[in-house]
Amino acid sequence: MSAGKSQKTAGFVLKSLAYGESDLIITFYSRDFGKISGIAKGAKRSRKRFANVFEPFSQIALIFSRKSRDTLALIESCEIIDHYAAIRADLEKTLTASYFIELADAFSPEGKANDRLFVLLADFLDWLARENASDAAIRFFEMRLLQISGFEPALGACVRCRKPVANGEVYYFYPQEGGITCAACARPERYDQSVSAGAVRTLLLGKDMDMEKMKRICMTDSLAAESRSILCGFIAYVLGKEVKSLKVLEQVRRYCP
Mark the segment that binds Zn ion (CB under 5 A) among 118-126, 143-151, 169-177, 178-186: 178-186
Half-sphere exposure of 3 (CA within 13 A, CB side): 16
Our finding on whether 161 is near Zn ion (CB under 5 A) is: yes
Alpha carbon distance 238, 145 (integer Å): 12
Q: How many residues bind Zn ion (CB under 5 A)?
A: 5
DSSP structure class, residue 220: -
Among 182, 199, 230, 231, binds Zn ion (CB under 5 A): 182
Q: How many helices (H) and strands (E) does the chain have?
A: 8, 8
154 binds Zn ion (CB under 5 A): no
Q: How far is the CB of 171 from Zn ion (least distance, A)?
A: 9
Q: How many CA atoms lie within 13 A of 201 on its CB side?
A: 11
DSSP code for 71: S
Which of residues 158, 219, 231, 243 is near Zn ion by CB under 5 A?
A: 158
Query: Is the separation of the CB atoms in 110 and 37 below 8 Å?
Result: yes
Q: Applying CB under 5 A, which part among 19-27, 65-73, 129-137, 156-164 lies near Zn ion?
A: 156-164
Assess 160 for contact with Zn ion (CB under 5 A): yes
The pair phi, psi for residue 227, each rounded to 5°, is -65, -35
CB of 162 vs Zn ion, minimal distance in Å: 7
State the minimum distance, in angstroms, from the CB of residue 57 to Zn ion. Answer: 41
Instruction: Give least dist CB 157 to Zn ion, A.
Output: 8
Give the residue from 36, 49, 46 showing the smallest Cα distance to 8: 36
Of 63, 106, 122, 185, the one binding Zn ion by CB under 5 A: 185
| DSSP 8-state class, residue 50 | T
CB of 161 to Zn ion, least distance (A): 3
Position 43 contacts Zn ion (CB under 5 A): no
Q: In degrees to the nearest 10, what's the CA dihedral of 142, 145, 151, 152?
A: 70
Q: Which region, judged by CB under 5 A, interacts with Zn ion, from 110-118, 155-163, 194-202, 242-250?
A: 155-163
Residue ranges in contact with Zn ion by CB under 5 A = 158, 160-161, 182, 185
